[in-house]
Structure formats: structure tokens, C-alpha cells
Structure 1
């Protein structure tokens, strides 16, 4: 076991946590700004801290006050909504930077130490989020253009609601002003942040090459990385569809801000619906009148959505393409192309992943006059994901069967020879010596002894049936006399001079 360098471990942990929190804060701040949350004097920093805390599993309590015509009415709000766009950005950055610190192939003990350091640093950041995530957001009551206009709710003590009696112009002038106070709960936020960072690091290790080297680990790694890629591609497709749909809207910046914050929520819910996982919902108040199936507690399915918009069937086609992509990717990356093995591993990972998606995308909002809840069936998602994943894994293994690249040819026996075989026997070298008897069925090239002491040769020799290209110094012709050997450092004799006398023979 190699020695743990604590300075490197600490710096790597600080880099992973710092870049991850910076990515989440940037996405949250940009999304809130595009939504106009800071237009009425709200604290963007406090709202950003609260959104990041909610993204990593923290708890945020809110209390609101609605005022109109000088009358203020206090109200409470219960929000259970995870901005998964912020969480996904932080998870991708955290996992990538953490894995970069493992390039030296550390042992299991060092990997565990690095993970513990990252978790401890992230808990410190969670405490800072709880301290900074307290403030007030001010919003003006605005009816979106896509929804029917309803009279403002103006409650006068002793009289009641007079919003429906006001003219349209006066109703626009006295639209309520909403002040929402929020605060991050330290205890639940620390617990949620600890679970979040542990899950992110665990999944990152399972999807990387730094896990065990066994065959089963390779198949698990291929399945996990393929399912993660499928979920990320689903989010990218959802963002693209949202931007395309919101390009012609009156406030495209608000569409972009919402996409930054909750694009994974909508995309993964659509994936669940496309894979026939029902999502049960509840809606009360004004939204209950707009969405009758939710007000009756009926499950949301693709067939019911298609009654309102036939394009809902595209969810089924998109889910099928994503699953096939995951199956082919898992089969290509698996150590072996067994159909049963690919189907089993991808089915198990997909089932667990869809059950986790159901838990992540569950949301509920309960404010005075509006109550919405959407939650999928985790058990059904586990079974459906296992079935669809096994089918996709088997299909991917069948589609990629026989597509392995052939083994690379071995190195050439002589590094300076480039051979291009042609049909027919080789007659031998062009000097007429004939073919070598021990190499009659193989292409000819000079032996190192024939090539001048192993030196390479430059000229190109071609006999019409084989092209032999040899680079280096040209060989000496056979039978050529060797030049006389000279004494080292002796100058050559001048032309016409007599030869030097031979030294006398020593007496015996």
C-alpha cells in the first residue's frame, strides 16, 4: 500500500467541493435571475443558497404574506420540490473532479479516505448554506398568458373576497403582492447533503474504471455508465424541446430560467411516463379546475395526456430510443457480448435507477388556494425498469454481436521493410542468386549479415510480384574488396610518396 499524501488529498477534496458548489450556485443564480426573482428587491444571494440547499436534499421552510389595497393576509406554504437542474450540474462536476484525483490508481484505503474528506468538506459547505439561505422574496401576482385570467383574490375584513366584483383594469392594478420568507433548516440540510454526496461519489466510482477489476465489476460498470448517459441525454433533449417551445413565447427568458432549474424533473418524469410508469397526482384550487384528472386523483398516463395533445405519444418513442441507446452502449462496453449477461445487468441497474428517479422527481406544493402533488409508483418503476432494461440489454447485445475489431497484425520481422504481398511465388532477389530454400513460401528480404552488418538500406527493390522497400544505407556489392585499414589518427601519405618503411622485426 502506497503512502497517503495528505496534502494532495486535502487539495483534491477542496477542488472537488469548491467547483461543485460553484457550478450549482451559478446555475441557481442564473435561473433565478431569468425568472425575475430578484426584480422586486429580493436577495439573490440568499435565494441562491436556499436553492442549492434544496438541490442537495436540504429542507427549506417558507412563510408568505399576500397584500393588496393595504390589506395583508399571512399564509403558510409547504414546498417539497427539488431543483434537479442544480443538483445534476453539481453532481457531474463533483464526480468528474473527484475521479481526476484518482489517476494514480490509489488503493482502496486511499479512495475511502479521499471520499471521507470530500464528504466532510461538503458538510461544512452545507452549514454555510444554512447560515446564508435566509431571506425574503417579493413577487408581483402575474397571471401567465397561457392560463385563463381569473379575478384577483382581494379579501377585505368583514366583507370577504371582492376580486370578482372589480373591473378588469382595476383588477390589474390591485393584483396582490406576495412576500415569501424562507429559511434553510440546518439539521435536515446536513443529513440530506451527506446522503447526496455519498450517493454521487458511489455512483461515480461504480461508473468509472477505478473499481474492482473482476468480470462482474466490468459488466456492472458498463451498465451503470450507460444508464447515467441515458438520463443525461434525456435532460439534454428536454432542454432542447423546452427552448424550442419557448422561443415563440412572450417571455422566453423565463422559460430558459425554469429549464435551468427543473429540466431534469420534467425530462425524467416524461421518461417514466414513456416507459408506462404511472404518475399519481392531486390538484386542488384553481389548478384543480384546470386539470380535472388530477382533481379526481386519477393517475397520469401517456394515453390521458394524448387526449389533450397527441404529441404526448412522442414520449413513448423517445423512451424507446433512449433505452436502445443504453443497451447498445452497455453491450459495447461489457467484457463479453453474452446476451443473457447484458440483459441481466442492464435490467437490474435500470430498475434501481428508475425507482430512484421516482423518488427524486416527486413534488408537492401546498399554498393557500393552490395544492399540487405528483408522485410516481416506485415499486412499479422498479419492475418496469427491470423488464425494459433487460429487453434493451439483450437487443443491444444482439445488434453488436460480431462487430468486434479483428486482432491487430503482429510487428514486421524487419522494421525497415514495408511489404505488400501479391499472388504468385517469389523468384528471389534481382541479383540472380535464386530464392532461399528455407523461405520459398515467404517474402524475401536480406539477412542482417547480407545488409552490411545489420545496417538498413534505402533503395527500393521491386521485382514485379513483391514490392520491397528498404530504408537505410545501400548494401555493398558482393565480392567487393575491402579498403585498406589505416592506423588511427595517422595522416594519409601524399600522392607519389614511397610507402613507409616497415618496422624492424624484434629479435628473438
Structure 2
């Protein structure tokens, strides 16, 4: 539903030949980490170099929230569960998911013609009946493999972040170390999404192009806001945008990346174009500190600040690693005529990739700082496992 609504806002509802359901299926496949094989060409007249690798994380997040709720709801309000019971709850969801993904993979195939306009190349391709085309088809084995890893990882994360879901008896001792930090990190990511939705709605209402803005919200908002999180705590990305294609929003990011040579993106380079980019640092600092306090409040009182630092540092580093791996963008289309060169106006690329170890390392560092500070700030607050001593004590003496 989210994928269909986002594509409608993007104008995909006007695709000819009943192609809309096929495109929706392709977006679902990509959202589950599946693989699409993209191809193109123009008969013997021209060849095409086409590739696409992007995860529409709005669709992924919506599916993850619904699936996690369905998995956890029957398990609430219990401390311990047998491993076989958890497996019994997971297996039907996994099977149904794989069946649905198989159906989407079979539906995710279509070929489109590309208009060359009134250019001389358009006239030649029309005379030779060799109009350029581009198509896609899901790679079923790879889609099922990545889809299986996606749902297994999701169910594991759901158990980690839920305080009320039971764990097997042998893992209960890890509850203190894992769950508060995992839950707080999850809320940090969701807080960025909620803030992004609020900003997107304001932009759609005040600056025009509402359909394009809503399409970004419904298809790829986490791709942008989680990138903003990494930039806010000092991370960096690199890439370039070339040709008629580009990033739909924000324009600032497209401006920094525009060019044939790769460019590095961090807060400083964005601030050269717009000084408001420094707000990313302030927002990240406030939300990271709040994350540290929340993790500490949800932890037993006996957990020391250095332990909070360790737990939250590891949690944020793993979350940053996931954001970096899922937030990559690589899209390229090149049409060459008779093998002698690319056609101007019909070739381009978009690349965005993380500076991985810088981002993960800073995630570990600032997660640790936020965890330590949160542990100190949470000391006066009421926390689980805390026992307050009476102000005065009296001892009865025998007469």
C-alpha cells in the first residue's frame, strides 16, 4: 500500500500498458532487499548499460513495523518463552512472507520504451524500428535469499527492542545489556523519520511540488533522514550526480553531488551551499543525548555509566552500519549509438555511498558519549531495580 501510494504520487499511475502493478511489485522486491536485473537496448542499432541498486526504505520500514507487531503481539507480558515456541511463531510468518515475495518477484517484470523526442537520433531509431527500451526483471533466487535474511533479521531485532516480549531462559541474563540500548536506538531512528515527515508535510504545503514531496516521503524518507543522522554526528558520504537524472530532494544534496567527479558530503560541504546545514549537528546532539537518557532510564539502577556507554555505543555503531549498507544508491543508464558513444540527454548516473568506517567509528564514539552522559543524567530519575533507603533508621533496644 505504501509503495503503491508513493508511486502514484510520483506519477507512475500514468504508465502505459498496465505497467503500474509490475512497478509496485518491483518496489516491494527492492524494499525487501531483493535483486532486480535491469536491461536495455535498441536492437542492433544501439546498446545500453543499465544498473539500479537502491532500497526504498519507507516501504521497508512500513513492512518491518507491521511484521514486528504481528510477531510480538501474542508474546507480550511474559518473561520467558521456550525456543520452540518462538520458532513456532516465526515459521508461519517466514513462510507467508516468502510466498508473498515469490508472487511479487514473478510480477516484477516489465519493459518500457524510451522517447528520444524530435532529435536526429529519434528519427533514425524510428526509421529503423529500433526505439530504445529499458526493462527490469526480479532475480528470484537472490530475492528469496535476501528476503529470508531480511525477515529473520527483523524478527531478531523485534525481540531485542521489545521490553515485554519473552526471551529463552538462557538469554534472559542479556536483557539488561541489550534491550534498553536497542530500544533507545530504534526510537532515535524513528524520531528522525517523524521529524522528516513533519518537515516534508510543511514543504509540500508551502513550497509547491506536493506530489513529488509526498512521493519521497512514501518511498525514500528514511534514506534521507538517516543520512542526515550520520552527517549530524560527523559522518560522510561520497558520490556524484550526472546527466538528466538526479535526486528528487533535497536540492542542496543534488547541487553538492552534481558533476562527473565524485564529491564528498559532510556537514561542512553542505554548509558551503547553505549554512542551515549546521542545524544537523544540533539536532543530532540533542536527540543522541535524549537517546542516552532513555536507555539509562530503562536500565536497572545498578548499571554503571561506563556500561551504558558500552551498550549504546555498540547499538549505535550497528545501527549506523545498517543505515550505511541500506542507504547506498547506484543508478546508471547509458545509451550508445552504433557503439561509438553515448547519446546526450539519455545517459546519466546517480551514486551515493558511505565512508563506511568513518561513519561506523563515529557512531560508536558518539553512542558511547551519549550513553555515558545519559547514565549520569538519569541518576536522579526513578529507574527499575532502584531501592531507596529510608532517611532515618531506628533500632529497638531491649529494656
Q: Give TM class, smaller chain.
A: 0.7 to 0.9
- 1:21-40 aligned within 5 A: 26-40=1-15
- SS of 1:101's equivalent in the other structure is helix
Aligned pair 1:285/2:243, yes or no? yes
Q: Would you say 1:305 and 2:244 are equivalent positions?
A: no
Provide structure 2 residue ranges, at least 5 long, that are not aligned to the other structure.
126-130, 247-253, 335-346, 389-399
Q: Does 1:403 pair with 2:392? A: no
C-alpha distance in 1 between matches for 2:260 and 2:276: 23
For the residues of structure 2 that align with 1:316 and 1:279, how far apart are their CA atoms? 16
Larger Rg: 1
1:335 pairs with 2:310: no
Q: Secondary structure at the match of 1:38?
A: helix
1:37–1:137 CA contact under 8 A, matched in 2: no
2:213 and 2:257 mapped to 1: Cα distance?
A: 25
Residues 256, 265 of structure 2: 8 Å contact kept: no
Contact 1:58 1:185 in 2 (8 A): yes
> What is the CA-CA distance between 1:255 and the residue it aligns to?
1.2
- Give the deviation of 1:308 after TM superposition: 0.9
**Residues 335 and 327 of structure 1, relative CA distance in 2, 3 Å threshold:** same
- Identify which of 294, 313, 324 aligns with 1:347: 313
Structure 1 residue runs of 5 or longer lacking an equivalent are 1-25, 67-71, 142-151, 161-176, 409-508
Q: Which residue of 2 aligns with 1:56?
A: 32
Offset of 1:45 from its aligned partner?
Answer: 1.6
8 Å CA contact 1:137, 1:181 repeated in 2 = yes
Selected match of 1:359 from 325, 331, 339 = 325
Say if 1:309 and 1:383 are closer, same or farther in 2 by CA, change over 3 A: same
Measure how far apart 1:102 and its partner are.
Answer: 1.8
Partner SS for 2:206:
coil
CA distance in 2, matches of 1:293, 1:29: 30
Which has the bigger relative contact order, CA under 8 A and spacing at least 6?
Answer: 2
Cα distance, 1:241 vs structure 2: 1.4
Give 1:254's aligned residue: 212
* 1:84 aligns to 2:63 (yes or no): no
Whether the 8 Å CA contact 2:38–2:136 is kept in 1: the answer is yes
Bigger share in helix: 2
Q: Greater CA deviation, 179-188 or 123-132?
A: 179-188
Kept in 2, the 8 Å contact 1:238–1:267? The answer is yes
Equivalence for 1:386: 364
CA contact (8 A) 1:282 1:373 kept: yes
Partner of 2:196: 238
Paired with 2:274 and 2:118, the residues of 1 have a C-alpha distance of: 31
Instruction: Tell me, in whole angstroms, the C-alpha distance in 1 between the residues paired with 2:269 and 2:31.
Output: 30
SS in 1 for 2:382: coil
Which of 112, 118, 136 lines up with 2:87 in the alignment?
112
C-alpha contact (below 8 Å) 1:37/1:138 kept by paired residues: no
Aligned residues: 353
Query: Could you list the per-position Cα deviations for residues 370-389 of structure 1 after superposition, in whole angstroms to 9, with x for gaps in the alignment?
Result: 11211112222221111100
| 1:343 and 1:389 in contact (8 A); partners too | yes
Rounded to whole Å, the distance in 2 between the matches of 1:380 and 1:53 is: 30
Q: Classify 1:217/1:314 alpha carbon distance in 2 versus 1 (closer, same or farther; 3 Å).
A: same
Is the Cα–Cα contact under 8 Å of residues 282 and 296 in structure 1 kept in the other structure?
Answer: yes
Deviations 1:184-212, CA, capped at 9 Å, x for gaps: 11011001100100110010011123225
2:158 maps to 204
CA contact (8 A) 1:280 1:298 kept: yes
Q: Label 1:252 to 1:109 Cα distance change in 2 as closer, same or farther (>3 A).
A: same
Work out the CA distance in 2 between the residues paired with 1:77 and 1:401. Answer: 56
Q: Is the 8 Å Cα contact of residues 256 and 269 (structure 2) preserved in structure 1?
A: no
Aligned mates of 1:196, 1:187 — CA distance in 2: 14
| Per-residue deviation, 1:76 | 4.2
Q: How large is the RMSD of aligned CA atoms in angstroms?
A: 2.9
Contact 1:281 1:294 in 2 (8 A): no
Offset, 1:394: 1.1
Is 1:187 the equivalent of 2:163?
A: no
Q: 1:133 aligns with which of 104, 108, 115?
A: 108
